[in-house]
Each structure stands twice: as C-alpha cells, then as structure tokens.
Amino acid sequence: GNSVTQMEGPVTLSEEAFLTINCTYTATGYPSLFWYVQYPGEGLQLLLKATKADDKGSNKGFEATYRKETTSFHLEKGSVQVSDSAVYFCALLGNFNKFYFGSGTKLNVKP
Amino acid sequence: DGGITQSPKYLFRKEGQNVTLSCEQNLNHDAMYWYRQDPGQGLRLIYYSQIVNDFQKGDIAEGYSVSREKKESFPLTVTSAQKNPTAFYLCASSRQGRSSGNTIYFGEGSWLTVV
C-alpha cells in the first residue's frame, strides 16, 4: 500500500541554519510527491511538488528532489528564517486520486 | 479569487447536537475531501467525493455524514454520535485522476469545540 514517513519533530534551529526534513515513501508505481506547510490555525499550503523521478521541486528557497532509488523526498533549505516556523507535511498522490500525508514535522526557528 | 471557503471559522457545539460545516470551492474541481486534525497531530481522512452524488468513507467516518449535491459544495455534518468532535476540520479539493499536474488544495479550516 501507500504510505509516507517523515522525521518526528520538533526540529529547532537557529536563524540562518541549514534545514533538512526527511521524508520517505512507499507506493506502487510512480506517485507525485508534495511538501505542504501549515502555519498555526491555518490550512495547508502547497510548498512544492515533483511529479517524476529526479525532478526537483523548489519554492521560497526550499527544495526537494524526487529520489526513486531511495524512495525519498527530503525537504531542504539553505538558510532558515524565523518566519519559516511552521509544520511541514510530506504527501504523495496514489491510486484512485487518494492523497497520503505524513504525520507532520514542526519546525521552530529561533532568532 | 479562486479557492476553497470554509465556514464558520469557529463553531461551538453542545452535547447531543448535530452541526454542519460548510465547504465551497470555485476551482471547478471534481474531487473534494474532509480531514480531521487534532492538536499537534497529522491529518485523518473522514470522507471524500470524486464526483457529484457519490462519496466514500475515509479512515474515521463514524459519527460524520456528508452530501455532494453540487460540484462546488461538500458540507460535513458532525453528528451526536461522534463522541469526541473537538478538532480542527480541513476541507480540500483536487482535480480528478492521477495526472502529473494534480494537486490537492486546502481551505483555511474550521475549529469545532464541544461545550
């Protein structure tokens, strides 16, 4: 079946530090992969996506590369800001138009 | 602006009451979804609908009901049978099918509290 596993949080970093949030997936076929961000009290916003192996999604300084050989889609940012503090969800689009989400990773960035 | 509108943002329910959360989208999406999120937790799928007049149970459908009479609308009723309804509810929509451009979009959420 389909599933998404992401690293547990919270992740606490100082401003300008390098960020990695790990995400691995299990799926049949070649799913599309996504990262969403959720700010407190709000819905999820699409951050980036990749639709095939070796694709790199990027947005607002965040990047993630679709690695089929390791079934991974790790989120990275070279220099985080306090405003990046949020919860990040990894997701995949499986069969029958069903989306599967990881459990979320909370990021705290301190000044 | 195109998007998904949920209302109300905050709702209080008394014991034994049914309440309905509204979800409207103007993205012309065929598929719509309801998720529940408990504080500090991930998303759990309640119901989803791929087409008008059809819907399927998700992982935690007990105590909830939905209807899909119009493409734009997918209201969720939290019934008195749902014993622990206090949570954040998220409505979402997407195009149909597994095309490479398909993405799920979310509303701003509704907070439901039992008083």
Q: What is the pLDDT of residues A46-61, one digit of tens each?
A: 999 999 999 999 999 9
Pairs of residues, one from chain A and one from chain B, whose beta carbons lie less than 8 Å apart = 57
pLDDT-derived band at B98 (thresholds 50, 70, 90) equals low
Chain position carrying tokens 């970093």: A13
pLDDT-derived band at A29 (thresholds 50, 70, 90) equals confident
Residues of A whose CB is below 8 A from B106? 36, 43-45
More confident position, A95 or B9: B9
- For residue B50, give how far its alpha carbon lies from the nearest alpha carbon of chain A (Å): 8
pLDDT-derived band at B15 (thresholds 50, 70, 90) equals confident
Mean pLDDT of B20-37: 96
Instruction: Render B2-25 in DSSP notation, one character per residue.
Output: --EEEE-SEEEE-TT--EEEEEEE
Who among B6, B97, B103 is closest to A49 (CB)? B103
Who among A43, A52, A95 is closest to B98 (CB)? A95
A103 contacts B42? CB cut-off 8 A:
yes
Question: Angle at CA B11, nearest 5°, toward B7 and B14?
Answer: 145
A91 contacts B104? CB cut-off 8 A:
yes
> Which of A51, A93, A106 is the best substitution to test chain B (most B C-beta atoms within 10 A)?
A93
Per-residue 3-state assignment (H helix, E strand, C coil) for A20-81: EECEEEECCCCCEEEEEEECCCCCEEEEEEECCCCCEEEECCEEEECECCCCECCEEECCCC
Q: What is the pLDDT of residue A1?
A: 84
- Single-letter code of the amino acid located at B89: Y
What 3-state DSSP class applies to B85?
coil
B102 contacts A91? CB cut-off 8 A:
no
pLDDT at A21 over 90: yes
Chain position carrying tokens 């990046």: A84
Q: What is the pLDDT of residue A95?
A: 78
pLDDT-derived band at B1 (thresholds 50, 70, 90) equals low
- For residue B51, give how far its alpha carbon lies from the nearest alpha carbon of chain A (Å): 12
B58: nearest CA in chain A? A98
